[in-house]
Chains A and B, each alone.
Chain A
Amino acid sequence: MGMGVDIRNQMARRASEEIQNGMVVNLGIGIPSLVPNHLSKETKVMFHAENGITGMGPSPNKGEEDENLCNAGGFPVTLTCGGSYTDSAIAFGMIRRGKVDITILGSLQVSQNGDLANWIVPGKKVPGMGGAMELAQKAKKVIVVMNHSDKNGSPKIVPVCTLPLTSSKCVDLIITEMAVFKVTEDGLLLTELFAPYCLENVVTKTGCEFNISENIRRIPY
């Protein structure tokens, strides 16, 4: 939403820090799709897609697209060495069985206890849940990457979601252009701040109260 490429990449880079060698990772569309650009070459990851790809690689060069090799959004991708194809029931079996280590997705709202609302705006936008419910409920770690405020300037981090929930108490980490929060048993914990934002900025733009880590990390990039 009018957000510069640098800021989007900054958030994607922070999300990439969560990914360790050997993980199975599912990425949503938008900013999450930028995450692979920030991984080191030594980090071997199997990117998982709901349509049945394990080991999704980067987009092909123009002219080298294969119409039968696309991600869950219908756009051309490649397959990495060691990757495989399955039917979509097996792809979701991997999710429900807890084999997906991390899912990184966007959201409309997240509540202070980690409720996720990212699938419909009643009366306006009703695209359907796709695979978001399974991913949110069953991935080992759920990371939300989103703007701190919506396009009207209202907070997207709220005491209670006003939009219908995709899944309750499922989010582990929230990354916005301003800050990083962990979702804990005691509510949200602010752990990191992106330059140039200060604590006061975050308090003003956040819809709920939160705890503040004793060692706030100032993200340098």
Chain B
Amino acid sequence: MDNPFGKITALENVMELFHDGMTLMFGGFGGVGSPPTLIDGILEKGVTNLTLIGNDTGFPTIGIGKLVKAERAKKVIASHIGSNPFAGQQMHEGKLEVEFSPQGILAERIRAGGVGLPAILSDIGMDNAIVAKNKPLFTLNGKNYLVETALTAEVSIVFAKKADEYGNLIYDKSARNTNPLVAMAGDITIAEVEEIVPLGSLATDEIITPGVFVNYVIPSKGVNWKWAWE
């Protein structure tokens, strides 16, 4: 495989990007579409005190849930932690700070970060103390809205079906979920992919994430966890 943009690399070459105390954003929804090889790499390196940003905390042995279970996170920004009892337990013990954001607003905050906007205005959860807490109000055309700040991260990790040599990505069915949003919001974005193909082999009209947003592409070793339904 040619590597004209220098983006295609191996797991060991991106590991230096992960460090204690960093902000890490991850793609995936209930573990579906989360990058298994990168998550295992982070787990094995022992990186800790992470601030994790993503839809949910997965399941204890699935997706980002592995890092949460191993107590590598000090904070998560997510919409749901219910499928990973370790997240709730650590939150109650004061070990894990959890910022809950309504699911679609969280997705939109990530998208805003990814497209260079500082914030969005939202009318979701305005009368909810947890959602509205510490958020400024903005009045527009006589109506109040919450100012929801954009989210970015030092590194975003995503899972895709195919990448070409430029890092153009396509996703597999519902494993797309938050990945295209997360891919845009990382200062550095690493795509773990099932298949790397030569430039020109992806149908140009079907590329979901342009390689402009992708810094590195690594091959996936595949999902190595057992799904909740198996």
A interface residues, Cβ below 8 angstroms from B: 49-53, 65-76, 79, 85-89, 91-93, 95-96, 125-131, 133-134, 137-138, 164-168
Contacts and interface: CB of A to CB of B under 8 A. Distances in A.
A182 to B, nearest CB: 23
B176 A87 contact: yes
Interface centre among B29, B105, B130, B223 (most CB of A within 10 A): B29
A85 B81 contact: no
Contacts of A71: 174
Given A72-B30, A128-B81, A130-B80, A87 B128 contact: no
Contacts of B82: 125, 127-128, 130
B131 A133 contact: yes
Contacts of B171: 85
B103 A52 contact: no
B223 A67 contact: yes
Interface in B138-181: 161, 171-181
Contact of A129 (B32, B125, B172, B208): B125
A64 B110 CA distance: 33
A131 B104 contact: yes
Interface in B108-140: 108, 110-111, 123-125, 127-131
- Top 10 A-B pairs ranked by shortest CB distance? A92-B104, A127-B82, A74-B30, A68-B175, A131-B103, A128-B80, A51-B29, A89-B107, A68-B172, A130-B80
A164 B105 CA distance: 19
Nearest to B58: A74
A126 B32 contact: no
B229 A164 contact: no
Contacts of B92: 126
Given A87-B176, A128-B79, A74 B32 contact: yes
